[in-house]
Amino acid sequence: MNSPPLQQLQDAITIWQSGVDAVNPLKLILNSVFLNETKSYYEIKIQSLLRNAKSNCLEFYQSIENAPEERNQKEFTQSSLLRDYSVIEPLFPNRRIIVVGMGKASAQMALGIETVLKHLVDLGRLSGWVNIPDDPILFKTPLRSIHLHGARPPQYNEPTEQGVYGSQKIIELIRSAQKDDLIFCLISGGGSALLPLTIPEITLQEKIAITRFLSAAGANITELNVVRKELSLLKGGGIRTLCRNKRLISLILSDVLGDPLDIIASGPTVENQSTPFDALKILQKFGVQNEKTLTNIYAVIKTKAQNCSKVRNLDHQCFGDHSSEKVLADQLSQQKIPLNNQKENDCYSRHYNIIIGNNQTAVLMAAQKAKELGYRPYFHSATKCEGNAETVGQKLLSDSLKLFRQKHFSQETKLFSENESSRAILHSSNNYSFPNANSFKDYNKEKMEPKADLCPFFINDKRSSDIDTEDSINISTNKNDDKLNFLETFPFDCVISGGEPVVQLVTEDKRGKGGRNQQLVLAALINLLKSNEMTVPVFLSAGTDGEDGPTNAAGAFFDRTIFEKIQIAISENQLSPSAFLEQNNAWVFFQMFEALFQTGATGTNVCDLRIVLKEKSSE
């Protein structure tokens, strides 16, 4: 029996919520971190989630019509990358675990660490400091040994003096560690604004000003973070430098498309892969050199670029002939924060960067929920910046309606081509390496090469030059393959999309209130109003963190009921949705029709999740 429109809206919300639940930070930590007790010491084990991912995906495959079980089994056995991976670190007697963190999801991640390591908490061997938004919901997290610090107000995603204070506390805690202490760094979306410690040449207000300027001009998250890393002490590998002679495990919940480790929260535990030259080009692209209020910012980065003699050297940032550790030591000393002097090649130095969840994880689990509810889902997750929110919203609507009308689907069908997410995912497993190359020296690469068009999950190891002391590992259900969608030969009635577009803001005197998801939904709605389309789908777009710009909404939605109310308002009151869109005022527009999607802080953050459901009759 067909679902009535009201039920369909509830289905869309349920599907969205399932995607968010899949990247619940507490669950992810509990499923990947373990404490083992040996005869003489404890050991920390980080267990790969790939086994569960394989099981879940196999079940999903087998539930789809016209997808034979034997074909699925064959596809899984062909993939060498569906394998277990473990990081095991000994924790010697009387040594501590230190936990630091920053991000919207870091409170729940901290709770997961305390839960797993409860016995060490009881023994007083665990302590920590985590910077989070000052949101009452997040502070309900029942922690015993890890201090939560409100580093910025809720709905205010900018650096503050409270964030500076919290960053200094994190530095002090890291520097107190001895060589066999283990440091956990919990990183999630929003971490960049929660870890503000500027270089001496600029002020915090100048950093806020350049971030506001670039955001309003339409800079994407990658461009913003490339600039911010050059203006910060801890971003761009600053924490990694502080922990050079320590044992560091960074658990990362990715909020950046494609999961570039040096961009997520501006890469505090990863050597900076961008340079002052890159930052200078971005400033020039957006005309910062012509802004009188930003002359110092431009001059500082230009000077750094001129002095940069080495580009992307793994052991040096581009600060002339100085190593990153020396520069950081000089700058921290100016702020009266000590940097210990230890041997550079200490044998206890081990650094791991481990991604435990991302946007694609949420998209896949949302698709599973849609299947459970009786829908036939097509799903995709962008792997790079999607571009303008208005364009993304219009194209998502038109492509979804195209899918809903088709009786058959082929790989040649051109969909979501603007960000090329499908193609990027299908071909993204061409380059990979194993965690320890020596232990796999006899493997047959030709035989073991994964089939990009068959493998729904793979592990993407980004290597440093020192393979024994630093690992960058993805243990999430990362980069699911849109090939799953091509197996179906029946019409789709559900589209699930993940990504993160940008909004180019009008001048502040004309600007209203809204966020990228609300802007995206309004653009799709306007496109539908202008068309002769008889079908009005359920359309929902929201940030997985529960925040959409500086508003109290996660996003917005519409269905036929709301659509008809808007049509009446347009005809009777001469309402102009386009005017609201042009003024970045989508929040006010959707508030009038009770179409804001308000969830409150979710405790996680993996970009945005969009649900489009084909309209069904109420009979």
If pLDDT is split at 50, 70 and 90, which confidence band does 416 have? low
Buried b (16+ CB within 10 A) or exposed e, 593-617: bebbbebebbbbbbbbbbbbbbbbe
Cα–Cα distance measured from residue 40 to residue 42, given in angstroms and rounded to the nearest whole number:
7
If pLDDT is split at 50, 70 and 90, which confidence band does 134 have? very high
What's the pLDDT at 89? 84
Helices assigned H by DSSP within 99-154: 106-116, 118-122
Burial of 344 (0-12, 13-18, 19+ CB in 10 A): exposed
Do the Cβ atoms of 282 and 227 come closer than 8 Å?
yes
Residue 320 has pLDDT above 90, yes or no: no
If pLDDT is split at 50, 70 and 90, which confidence band does 406 have? confident
In this prediction, residues 64-79 reach a mean pLDDT of 32
- The percent of residues above 70 in pLDDT, for the chain, comes to 72
Q: Return the minimum-mean-pLDDT range out of 34-43, 223-232, 521-530, 603-612.
A: 34-43
What's the pLDDT at 68? 34
Do the Cβ atoms of 324 and 316 come closer than 8 Å?
yes
Residue 55 has pLDDT above 90, yes or no: no
Residue 25 has pLDDT above 90, yes or no: yes
What's the pLDDT at 409? 54
Burial of 171 (0-12, 13-18, 19+ CB in 10 A): buried
Phi-psi region of 452 (alpha: psi -120 to 50; beta: other; left: phi over 0): alpha
What's the pLDDT at 327? 54
Residue count of the chain, please give it: 619
Residue 408 has pLDDT above 90, yes or no: no
Q: Return the minimum-mean-pLDDT range out of 95-109, 148-162, 560-574.
A: 148-162
If pLDDT is split at 50, 70 and 90, which confidence band does 171 have? very high
Burial of 379 (0-12, 13-18, 19+ CB in 10 A): buried
If pLDDT is split at 50, 70 and 90, which confidence band does 72 have? very low
Residue 186 has pLDDT above 90, yes or no: yes
For 102, 323, 559, 618, the CA distances from 265, given in Å and listed in that order, are 8, 22, 35, 46
pTM: 0.77
Of 353 and 483, which is predicted with more confidence? 353
Of 509 and 309, which is predicted with more confidence? 509
What's the pLDDT at 310? 41
If pLDDT is split at 50, 70 and 90, which confidence band does 473 have? low
Residue 47 has pLDDT above 80, yes or no: no
In this prediction, residues 279-301 reach a mean pLDDT of 94
What's the pLDDT at 339? 42
Helix (H) or strand (E) holding 133: strand 126-133
Average pLDDT, the chain: 77
What's the pLDDT at 531? 92
**3-state secondary structure (DSSP) of residue 15:** helix
Q: Quick: pLDDT tens for 550-571.
A: 999 999 999 999 999 999 999 9
In this prediction, residues 139-146 reach a mean pLDDT of 94
Residue 429 has pLDDT above 50, yes or no: no
What's the pLDDT at 478? 40
Do the Cβ atoms of 454 and 352 come closer than 8 Å?
no
Do the Cβ atoms of 610 and 518 come closer than 8 Å?
no
Phi, psi of 604 (to 5 degrees): -135, 180
Q: Quick: pLDDT tens for 116-126.
A: 999 999 999 99
Helix (H) or strand (E) holding 300: helix 295-307
What's the pLDDT at 578? 96
What's the pLDDT at 86? 65
